[in-house]
Amino acid sequence: MSKTLLYGATKIDETNSAYAPIESLAQFQWKNRVFILFADRDNSRAARQENQLLANRSALDERDLVVLKVSGACVRPLFGAADGLDGEAIRRDLDVPEVGEFAAFLLGKDGTVKLRASEPIIDGELFAIIDSMPMRAAESLKPDKLS
């Protein structure tokens, strides 16, 4: 199982493209975290990932998460609202493996990639990663979440 956690750097070099916001998903920056699932054909790993995430919609909502599925140039929101997204631009910006391969990415509210996975990630692990982020910790201290 291959996962690369890009969160946790003590010093971020903003000139490093690994920490640059993803332009094709700029509409979500500072509003939502985004989980992007790439699956171009019928893929049991993609179906498993989709089912795991959508089984806990209240946890997705609580974490301001938008879940997108990209197949070729088509982008379909699985949870949350998304308009006018270009699957090819997202694929290019995230440097996704070849068409047909499973890949999943988590973007933080700052628009940067926090996690890359080549295998499905269980929702508890995903939520633990999100909950360990400083912005999420600050959100959980607020008595009433602002919309």
pLDDT of residue 30: 95
Tokens representing 14? Answer: 């903003």
pLDDT, tens digit, 9 for 90 and up, residues 92-117: 999 987 777 889 999 999 999 999 99
- Position 6 scores a pLDDT of 52
Q: Which residues pair with 33 in a beta bridge?
A: 65
* Distance from C-alpha of 66 to C-alpha of 104, rounded to nearest angstrom: 13
CB neighbours of residue 86 within 10 Å? 14
**Cβ pair 133, 64 in contact under 8 A:** no
Q: In 3-state terms, what secondary structure has residue 108?
A: coil
DSSP symbol at 18: G
Residue 10: the pLDDT is 31
Per-residue pLDDT of the chain (147 residues; tens, 9 = 90+): 555 555 443 333 344 455 678 899 999 999 999 999 998 776 788 889 999 999 999 999 999 999 999 988 899 999 999 989 999 999 999 998 777 788 999 999 999 999 999 999 998 999 999 999 988 878 877 766 554
